[in-house]
A and B are shown apart, each in its own frame.
Chain A
Amino acid sequence: MQTLIYISYLTFLISRPMALRGAVTRLLSNSKKCAAVTVSRAQGTAAAASRDVEEIKIPAKAPKVSFNWRDALELEGQLTEEEIMIRDSFRDYCQEKLMPRILMANRNEHFHREIVSEMGELGVLGPTIKGYGCAGTSYVAYGLIAREVERVDSGYRSVMSVQSSLVMHPINAYGTDAQKEKYLPRLASGEILGCFGLTEPNHGSDPSGMETKAKYNPSSGTFSISGAKTWITNSPVADIAVVWAKCEDGRVRGFILERGMKGFATPKIEGKFSLRASATGMILMDEVEVPQENLLPNVSGLAGPFGCLNNARYGIAWGALGAAEFCFHAARQYTLDRIQFGVPLARNQLMQKKMADMLTEITIGLQSCLALGRLIDEKKAAPEMISMLKRNSCGKSLDIARQARDMLGGNGIADEYHIIRHVMNLEAVNTYEGTHDIHALILGRAITGLQSFTVGK
């Protein structure tokens, strides 16, 4: 009954002066909380209407909303209960089981292979895949998972991204049922670890020029693959490798190589000052005989690797913000605790400005990632959207980490305070899966219609 009165009120009030519109919108928005609204009659003359309006009691004020710097745009309210439970459970694991290990793992460049099995047990590997022992959850949940693990370390998140998006995803999207049955359940549980071989020493940003070749031997029904891949996360300890090679028809195709195949070697890259908690190496292939059933048949050309990269880049867009959030919170706490010139550092305007900038970028970044995740779940996302957010999150997060390092002063360079580790890591995160500049070119091409990757037309 009350709603009918409000609606009829609306119909004749809308023709009244602007001043009343505010009252109407407040009335309608507070319809549940409205105190008594006296209405003498539903319709009447203009004069009678203004009298009616004067009798309206001012509706009760909306409860005051306080600002929460930890979640400035209420991301929490935009997640489903399931996504919140997934995030909370995994956050507990990361803080209780991963955080204690990372200091030494990073300092001594040690990769804890066990974490892959632990994450497998929790079901966070390949979480968006349906079936084969995978959880089949939303892309938003995948993003939340990436954010929580990268809050601890980008190296750990790289391991998770490679396994989920660069090994499990291509097998799931481009592989045969036999391949999926053979590899996916064991990859999901973390029993086996995979790596993704696309980048070469001479071909980073331009994978189309790759030199790794796959020659088909009709007599044995196998492919002979030769070439070198570099900067491959997990390769030194990987059990399988999804390698992209150029076939004789000039098309790039994906092959599943297994450790133990003759001619397959994975030396570790030494002297790495980023992502030290994750093992990175090369894949050297000297006429490796790969059976035909290890070819990924359902894709050819660069669409294959790019499909995988886009999947991973989406996770990175969320993840990098997790690292930035850690740095922001850590810098905030440090500047509140540290007293110089008789006051906490946080009392200073320069510090507050830095934190305001951090808060803004992180909050806006997370909202954009959420919007993108929802679009991907609805199958309405274009690759350029992912490029845009990967670039934004990585660039802004690197900046935030550097600022936070600066705020910690001398202590900022000690790994005990963790921020310098994020600064180190985000250099690689900003570069891999498409450098900051390359994503700019992807967007530039989409904006102008003109490509500027190559020198030619």
Chain B
Amino acid sequence: MSGRVLVGVKRVIDYAVKIRVKPDNSSVVTDGVKHSMNPFCEIAVEEAVKLKEKKLIKEVVAVSCGPQQAQETIRTALAMGADRGIHVEVTGKDYETLGPLQVSKIMAALAKKEDAQLVILGKQAIDDDCNQTGQMTAALLDWPQGTFASEVSFDGDKIKVVREIDGGLETIKIKTPAVVTADLRLNTPRYATLPNIMKAKKKKIANVKPADLGVDLTSRLEVVRVDEPPQRQAGVKVETVDDLVGKLKEAGTV
């Protein structure tokens, strides 16, 4: 086994920023807005680095798809302990329509090219909340998947994944190579230490174009309109329980 892990990291609008919709309702405002690494991607990087520290894997490669600024996100991953980065350059219209299908095609191509043993992704991105890339990547590669992972461990030549599901926790064992997606409780990402930030400068980030990987970025989706959520309406006060039941019946909820 190559001992190489691919970690996907996405540059998204920072979680603390108040999102505003563009006046033409085409998308949200991203110009001049603070961006950072998707929190679930941080957890994914942390898990990969932890596996390397336990000497269970040999190399962590951070991958990001996007314009020039995606390199900042890769640098953050390098500062957390990834060994090298791959920046898949996607700009302009292609970037606007970049979604899980395209990214999973890219990740699958890279996983094959880099002979990866494991692909770890965040379970979903906080901007589109798709929760699809990990699953699609596994399907394209025909690899097993351990999604919503809250615990990952190596068990011989298999990986044991504890998954957070609606009913509780599910433990599965999957063969490698495999795709794992990180859920919130998998770990607590470390703060990048100063020495590691300085070392990150020297680590390499390779530049790749989707065409080089033979990936077609055409999107089958078209965003028609983006709207803000409806304004919260004021509540109504009622005097008695009968009034309350009456109003609920009116609204058709009882």
Contact B191 A135 (CB under 8 A): no
**Chain A residues numbered 319-352 whose CB sits less than 8 Å from any CB in chain B:** none
Complex formed: what's the CA distance from A89 to B75 in Å? Answer: 12
Residues of B within 8 A of A122 (CB): 191, 193-194
**Chain A residues numbered 75-104 whose CB sits less than 8 Å from any CB in chain B:** 81-82, 85-86, 89-90, 92-93
Q: Is the C-beta of A207 less than 8 angstroms from some C-beta in chain B?
A: no
Contact A85 B191 (CB under 8 A): no
1/0 contact string of B195-225 vs chain A (CB within 8 Å) = 1111011000000000000000000000000
Question: Within the complex, what minimum Cβ distance (angstroms) separates A121 from chain B?
Answer: 7
> When the two chains form the complex, which single residue of B75, B191, B192 contacts A81, counting CB atoms closer than 8 Å?
B75
> When the two chains form the complex, which single residue of B32, B191, B193, B198 contacts A82, counting CB atoms closer than 8 Å?
B198
Complex formed: what's the CA distance from A89 to B197 in Å? Answer: 9
Contact A124 B194 (CB under 8 A): yes
Contact B198 A89 (CB under 8 A): no
Residues of B within 8 A of A92 (CB): 191
Contact B75 A127 (CB under 8 A): no
> When the two chains form the complex, which single residue of B75, B76, B195 contacts A135, counting CB atoms closer than 8 Å?
B195
Contact B75 A123 (CB under 8 A): no
Residues of B within 8 A of A135 (CB): 193-195, 197-198
Residues of B within 8 A of A127 (CB): 194
Residues of A within 8 A of B194 (CB): 86, 89-90, 122-124, 127, 135, 137, 141
Residue count of chain B within 8 Å CB distance of chain A: 15
Q: Is the C-beta of B116 less than 8 angstroms from some C-beta in chain A?
A: no
Q: Is the C-beta of A395 less than 8 angstroms from some C-beta in chain B?
A: no
1/0 contact string of A112-140 vs chain B (CB within 8 Å) = 00000000011110010000001111000
Contact A123 B193 (CB under 8 A): yes
Question: Within the complex, what minimum Cβ distance (angstroms) separates B51 from chain A?
Answer: 20
Complex formed: what's the CA distance from A141 to B201 in Å? Answer: 15
On whether A89 and B192 interact (CB within 8 A), knowing A81-B72, A81-B75, A82-B201, the answer reads yes
Contact A90 B198 (CB under 8 A): no
Complex formed: what's the CA distance from A90 to B79 in Å? Answer: 13
Contact A85 B75 (CB under 8 A): yes
Question: Within the complex, what minimum Cβ distance (angstroms) separates A443 from chain B?
Answer: 33
Complex formed: what's the CA distance from A123 to B193 in Å? Answer: 6
1/0 contact string of B165-177 vs chain A (CB within 8 Å) = 0000000000000
Contact B195 A90 (CB under 8 A): no
**Chain A residues numbered 117-169 whose CB sits less than 8 Å from any CB in chain B:** 121-124, 127, 134-137, 141
On whether A90 and B76 interact (CB within 8 A), knowing A82-B197, A85-B197, A135-B198, the answer reads no
Interface centre among A85, A93, A121, A141 (most CB of B within 10 A): A85
Contact B195 A123 (CB under 8 A): yes
Complex formed: what's the CA distance from A124 to B194 in Å? Answer: 6
On whether A137 and B193 interact (CB within 8 A), knowing A81-B75, A85-B79, A89-B79, the answer reads no
Closest to B80 in A: A89
Residues of B within 8 A of A85 (CB): 75-76, 79, 192, 197, 200
Residues of A within 8 A of B191 (CB): 89-90, 92-93, 122
Residues of A within 8 A of B192 (CB): 85, 89
Residues of A within 8 A of B196 (CB): 123
Closest to A188 in B: B195
Top 7 closest pairs, chain A to chain B, by CB = A123-B194, A135-B194, A89-B192, A123-B193, A123-B195, A93-B191, A135-B195
22 pairs of residues in contact across A and B, judged by CB atoms under 8 Å: A81-B72, A81-B75, A82-B201, A85-B75, A85-B192, A86-B194, A89-B79, A89-B197, A90-B194, A92-B191, A122-B193, A122-B194, A123-B193, A123-B194, A124-B194, A127-B194, A134-B195, A135-B193, A135-B195, A135-B198, A137-B198, A141-B194
Other CB < 8 Å A-B pairs besides A121-B193, A123-B193, A135-B195, 9 of them? A85-B75, A90-B191, A122-B193, A123-B194, A123-B195, A123-B196, A127-B194, A134-B195, A135-B197
